[in-house]
Amino acid sequence: MPLDLRAILTTVAALLSGILAALALTNPVLRDWAIVASPSEVDRWISSGPTAVGLGAVIAVLACAISQRRGSRRAAWIAIAVGVAVIAIVRAVVPEVASLDLLIALIIVKSVAAGTILGCVVAVSWDRTATKNATLLGVLATFLAIRTFAGGTARMTTSSVGEPSWWLIGATAAAAIACAVTAQAGFRIRKPDSGEIRIALVVITALAIGHRVLGAVIDRQQYASEATAWIVMVLAAGAALALTWIAAYRLGDASGAGGKFLWAATALAAASAPLFVDIAKGSGHWGDLKSPWVLVLFAALPVAVGLRLHKQVPNFVPIAVLVAVPLSELMPFDSAHGVWSIALKIAALGLAAGLLFGSLAPGSLVDATLGLAIPFAAMTFSSIAILTDQLSFPPMMTSIYIQGQLDIDAVSPHGDGGLFGRGIGITVDYVTAQTVGTAILFALIIGFCGAAILRRSHPPVEVSEPTETA
């Protein structure tokens, strides 16, 4: 069988576009920055990140909808190339930025460009299995692995994971332009079903705003009493699940609709949130692994395996894996937070994500884009994970204590990789009531999502079109 070079090129372009879009949409709060401003200005800058990510998620669905309306694959690839060019401009300008307002504007512009890339690449890749899996692999593996590159920074930046590398920007732009040049005029993007675009846009807007508001409410509980904080977190988690239930009901989960895909994305967001907190605390101290690049393999390979085997594995298996990840926090400190434990958790999430997303991938392009954007925009769960970590951290395990231990281990000739390597012998009882409560809360959130995935499917809610009257 002769090689189809156009198909290979499209698959590579879909993979690179998915990676770049996911990288640009990942914007965790910085732990260190070179900004001298009033507290209110710094708070405004920090809050701009989650807001920009929510906007990017909405733009992703809108870009996919416009691509479907136009139907031109060449136009969609050109839009991707333009989005890459915008990210390249941001990449070039950021090191010279001296204004907080300009930095906030660049964060928003980058997120809009990333959303455009994500929406358009789903539109052009979803009709072929190879390109669809390439997009899923790029987005999911990057979502799980990219935070291992996060760390403090001595200069202004739009994200603590750093700006996209020039080689990724250049390769993605070249692949997108090549796909635009070689696109076949007769092979068009299929038209959307009646009403599905309207429902998807309403749903993603409601989810983005809802998660942003709930996340902000949780963030304000940092200095509240412990009882108040837990009440707010439980109520916020319930509100997020209720909002997701309404959204999934509107989307439907029969005949290729995206209701169950939305639940899978929500479950992944919840399962990964506590792990990302652990990664943030251990970033830059990877012990025996030496480099976070090793953890990229722990994310990418399981996702690829999951996408390959999703037809042979029932859905309750990846759901059980997702539930097990937050419950692993109940293990002893070194076992639950060592570098190998983090690597295994990333691999487990990757396998579960590949199995679920491959099995539940909807036929609707806008619903697929919506689901892929949710892990980045579901800030309710990341805010809960951060706040519960602050509540459950042992008193003696302050940031000053940890940094001191890391510094001692770094200069010691007998160092074994630091706190996140083979351990530094911390004699504290890590499993506290707060730790148990956190594990149970996230397990219940994921279990609720899993129950929604496993129940009987229901058709999407029909949207009645206005009729003309005489």
Task: List, for residues 178-199, the tens digit of each pLDDT value.
Answer: 999 988 877 888 887 768 889 9
Candidates 249, 364, 344; CA nearest to 301 is 344
Residues 6+ apart with CB under 8 A from 115: 21, 25, 55, 56, 57, 58, 59, 60, 62, 63, 373
Query: So what's the pLDDT on residue 460?
Result: 66
Q: CA–CA separation, 112 vs 118, rounded Å?
A: 10
pLDDT band at residue 51 using 50, 70 and 90 as cut-offs:
very high
Q: CA–CA separation, 317 vs 224, rounded Å?
A: 38
DSSP code string of 19-31: HHHHHHH--PPPS
Give the position of tokens 């504290």: 428
Residue 166: Cβ within 10 Å count: 11
Radius of gyration of the chain from Cα atoms?
Answer: 22
* Total residues found in the chain within this entry: 470
pLDDT band at residue 152 using 50, 70 and 90 as cut-offs:
low
441-467 pLDDT, tens digit each:
999 999 999 999 998 776 666 554 444
Residue 348: Cβ within 10 Å count: 20
207-236 pLDDT, tens digit each:
999 999 999 999 888 888 889 999 999 999
Query: So what's the pLDDT on residue 71?
Result: 87
Query: So what's the pLDDT on residue 396?
Result: 40
Residue 186: Cβ within 10 Å count: 5
Instruction: Give the mean model confidence (pLDDT) for residues 141-163.
Output: 78
- pLDDT for residue 34 is more than 80: no
Residues 6+ apart with CB under 8 A from 4: none
DSSP code string of 428-450: S----HHHHHHHHHHHHHHHHHH
Instruction: Give the mean model confidence (pLDDT) for residues 373-387.
Output: 93
Q: What is residue 165's three-state secondary structure?
A: coil
Q: Sign (positive/negative) of CA torsion 119, 123, 124, 125?
A: positive
Decide: 345 and 99 in contact? Cβ < 8 Å.
no
What residue spans of 220-364 are helical by DSSP H?
A: 226-251, 259-282, 293-309, 316-327, 333-337, 339-360
Q: CA–CA separation, 132 vs 79, rounded Å?
A: 18
Q: CA–CA separation, 200 vs 61, rounded Å?
A: 7
Q: CA–CA separation, 133 vs 400, rounded Å?
A: 44
pTM: 0.88
Tally: H helices and E strands in the chain = 17, 0
Higher per-residue confidence, 336 vs 330? 330
Q: Sign (positive/negative) of CA torsion 269, 382, 164, 150?
A: negative
What single-letter DSSP state applies at residue 158?
S
pLDDT averaged over every residue in the chain: 83
Structure tokens at 240: 């997020």
Q: CA–CA separation, 135 vs 17, rounded Å?
A: 7
Residues 6+ apart with CB under 8 A from 410: 418
Structure tokens at 62: 């809108």
Query: So what's the pLDDT on residue 403?
Result: 46
Instruction: Give the mean model confidence (pLDDT) for residues 138-150.
Output: 90
Q: CA–CA separation, 289 vs 284, rounded Å?
A: 11
Instruction: Give the mean model confidence (pLDDT) for residues 391-417.
Output: 48
Q: CA–CA separation, 56 vs 34, rounded Å?
A: 25
Q: How far is CA 20 from CA 118, 173, 296, 466, in A?
A: 9, 10, 14, 40
Higher per-residue confidence, 206 vs 253? 206
Q: Sign (positive/negative) of CA torsion 251, 356, 442, 43?
A: negative
